[in-house]
Amino acid sequence: MIAESSLLVEADLVDIRDVVPDVVLDIRYATEHNFVGRPIEGYEAPLCLLTHRAAAALAGVQATLRELNLSLKIYDCYRPQRAVDRFVAWAADLDDQRMKVEFYPNVEKASLFDDGYIAARSGHSRGSTVDLTIVPVPTPDQPAFDPAAPGRSCENPASERFADNSVDMGTGFDCFSPLSHTLNQNIRGEAMANRLLLKSSMKEQGFRNLSEEWWHYTLVDEPYPDTYFDVPVR
């Protein structure tokens, strides 16, 4: 059996903080604050692991944003296949609706597969995909997530959803909604400007956006386009 440390080397994964020390991390799947409502299998530490190539490209994005007194904030990076399997199992359990109010308020859970919100494979498992946003510098404090508090829809205006310390992107992160589509015409003004700033900054360094998720980017020249790793994040 190959040691997990050897598999990490084989996958070419590095801690983003070793490449971009000032990036802000909010690794949601290592916490209760995600659409499942509990820490996800495979996330044994709140770290962002990426391939060397993707991490180096993100360093270029961060350099651009620093000049604007802004910073990247990362929600998710490399995702083990076992975590993707957990998402699939969760989506099939129609009785578990704990996080519906916040993350999929207007989507039926039975439709998550057909609508493309959940899939059996994720680009994140290839190590060069990242979910992220932009925060001001200095970065405001973010209130701790309280699982006992009433849920607030991710589709609400920024002042009425979870108090994320990012700039307004029009919806919360991981919002299963057409409003999360990057160029959704119902998103206007400052929120759309923020989406376009993220999109242009990422594109300049070689990332492409998933049009259905304003936060989701994959390195175009990813080194492992056909490999799905399953090493835990640790």
> Which residues are catalytically annotated?
213
Start-to-end Cα distance in the chain: 18
Environment class of residue 144 by beta-carbon count within 10 Å: exposed (0-12), middle (13-18) or buried (19+)? exposed
Distance CA 102, CA 122 (A): 22
What does the alpha-carbon distance between residue 23 and residue 19 come to, in Å, rounded to a whole number? 9
